[in-house]
Amino acid sequence: MPLYDYRCPACGHRFELLRSISAQDNVVCEKCGTKAERFYQGKCAFGAPKGSGCSGNCGGCAGCGNH
């Protein structure tokens, strides 16, 4: 199972969860119960969705379309 990073749009809490691919978007904040958003940290990966929070450390990989 993959480890995903989440951020709560209401309270700003950040956390990680092991989730199946089919359940990756059905997550609520551990602190306030608001639906959490998945976000990406670190280096850019090929095929990353445009606007996914590329860190800019990708050396021009063009995986997210930001560089």
pLDDT at 67: 45
Q: From start to end of 9-60, where are the E strands?
A: 14-18, 37-39
Per-run averaged pLDDT (10 residues), the chain, 67 residues: 92 93 90 93 55 54 52
Give 16's contacts (C-beta < 8 A, 6+ positions apart): 3, 4, 5, 6
pLDDT at 43: 52
Rounded-to-integer distance, Cα 27 and Cα 52, Å: 18
pLDDT at 52: 54
Contact present, 5 and 17 (Cβ < 8 Å): no
On the 0-12 / 13-18 / 19+ scale of CB atoms within 10 A, 44 is: buried
